[in-house]
Structure 1
């Protein structure tokens, strides 16, 4: 009977052998936590609260996925870029695609300690009056009446919300008259709280306390006189709670409201993990929108955006001969 031979690892190679054995699981773990398992999101900061909530809920279902939502991520390296204003042809580059993922609303706001708050809230402002306040001010060719004398506060640098507001009035952000505020929309809100003559604009998620659903302290909303009869009628009194505003906006889509899409830009060759997350947001994530002051997309638009994402996935998988010829799919009406 032939004896089997026993081979021994030379003593000098033992440390190297152990190092290799120990490094393999760590390397595998490192690969799991990086690369395809991480989705990086950046862009419009006012949307971060809802994107954070979507991410939290999604990763509960898919713990192998890590989602980073933060500013400072270079747009070129982001998997998802949030752009919350009307998209033009130059906003979406070659090889990219865009869809709407939710909507948001901005309202005109003033300091709640202003001496004629009650009058302003009972009379309201027409759309044209707001345009004159924001874009003309006390210019040489247009002198505002005394009751309309405000200090307009705006964002110092280009920002999605300010661009969206200006676009609503057919203007550019640089056309907004007033004092530029550094920082974000929260800083803009704080500037209004500190100046009794202030007027500005902001989104529902900052104007209202998302816990109490009431307007935050120090701020008052100027109602919009939709029918332009010089007073705020009962059916125009929609601002007492966050939920009442959301209900009215979704039901009417009143064109005089400062409504805008929250769009996301992705690469046409995006990874499956990215497309799957966005599909989940469209199908299941809308239920969290109202809690953070965002509006739902209507069912028809959701179906359309989901189909567009499916086409991107099919084209990337080689399961479809249909090419994605258009760069963006969102409605900019």
Structure 2
């Protein structure tokens, strides 16, 4: 037998085995995905994070067209429930974690910051007084924790009487915004009274249509990202942080989107209701497409944070979050 004829099948088999092993090595490396491999990432959760995650998915797809995204808003509670039940790969989450959630094995990375802001209608008859005086933590507790709805004279000084009754709105869904906002005045979402409204868009619309109402929204639903101005029909109830009964100059940072985001980033706006926003998984992520997406969000994806109306994390904190993926 010719020696070339004898060794040819052996050489071919060796090449095939090396090719298979090499392919396995690249796909096993954490955070990498074999070129051309199709994948799907399902995401649900907080309304607060939905616009930014949608932008991230669109931008990520430009360099990773083989990854398909399914993104649904439904509140932080839904994001947690879906992830822990295995119904989605990632959850959008917008409040602090409870010990029970940590004990169940939730894993997370912080990806940006924003804030929850108390809101009123631009047609509110007490708008001028509110913007002169502001409201305190105690005022907010009076509004949302009373068994009976208070009147406007219970939270601001009026020349005559108690004024008209306040229409109080809250969230009907398990919402990170509601929990974060309630924590500012020492409560939890379940402690809050008010007419329950589903979701950020619904709550903003309810406040817009009722001149005597109060509500609360994430920054992205109070301001228009493009113009930087407040959304039509929506005004802000400013915080009287030093409780002196006057909205001082250094407490007035609500005129436009840039001003409020700067206040959140610098810590002038209190935290809570300023807060970090998270992407969560059930246990440490193992799906290569998910890992690649999270790494991209914390690196290249950060360039889209500020233009989308959110506050970027500082570099040291980003490195800390990336280390969770690289361990």
Same fold (TM over 0.5): yes
| Aligned Cα root-mean-square deviation (Å) | 2.6
Cα distance change of structure 1 residues 231 and 253 upon mapping to structure 2, 3 Å threshold: closer
Aligned to 2:112: 102
Cα distance change of structure 1 residues 121 and 51 upon mapping to structure 2, 3 Å threshold: same
Shift of 1:287: 2.2
Within the candidate set 252, 255, 258, 1:243 is matched to 258
- Per the normalisation by structure 1, the TM-score is 0.76
Aligned to 1:46: 48
Within the candidate set 118, 124, 133, 1:114 is matched to 124
Shift of 1:305: 0.6
CA contact (8 A) 2:182 2:189 kept: yes
Larger displacement relative to structure 2 (53-62 or 256-265) = 256-265
SS of aligned partner of 2:216: strand
Aligned to 1:177: 193
SS of aligned partner of 2:48: helix
Cα distance change of structure 1 residues 308 and 122 upon mapping to structure 2, 3 Å threshold: same
Deviations 1:219-249 (A, max 9, x none): 1111111222211122222111101110121
Matches of 1:185 and 1:48, distance apart in 2:
11
Cα distance change of structure 1 residues 269 and 99 upon mapping to structure 2, 3 Å threshold: closer
- The 5-angstrom pairing of residues 202-213 of structure 1 reads 202-213=217-228
Point out where structure 2 has 5 or more consecutive residues left out of the alignment: 1-33, 156-161
Aligned residues: 277
Shift of 1:286: 2.1
Asked if residue 270 in structure 1 is aligned to residue 286 in structure 2, the reply is: yes
Matches of 1:188 and 1:281, distance apart in 2:
29
Within the candidate set 191, 215, 226, 2:241 is matched to 226
Cα distance change of structure 1 residues 179 and 119 upon mapping to structure 2, 3 Å threshold: same
Aligned to 1:190: 205
Matches of 1:224 and 1:252, distance apart in 2:
14
CA contact (8 A) 2:170 2:203 kept: yes
Asked if residue 310 in structure 1 is aligned to residue 326 in structure 2, the reply is: yes
Aligned to 1:290: 306
Within the candidate set 261, 265, 279, 2:295 is matched to 279
Aligned to 1:87: 97
SS of aligned partner of 1:215: coil
Matches of 1:85 and 1:58, distance apart in 2:
25
- Per the normalisation by structure 2, the TM-score is 0.77
Shift of 1:34: 11
Matches of 1:295 and 1:49, distance apart in 2:
14
Shift of 1:130: 1.7
Cα distance change of structure 1 residues 192 and 89 upon mapping to structure 2, 3 Å threshold: same
Deviations 1:263-308 (A, max 9, x none): 2222324212211211111112222222333221222221111001
Matches of 1:179 and 1:38, distance apart in 2:
38
CA contact (8 A) 2:181 2:272 kept: no
Within the candidate set 172, 175, 180, 1:156 is matched to 172
Matches of 1:95 and 1:126, distance apart in 2:
37
Shift of 1:96: 4.0
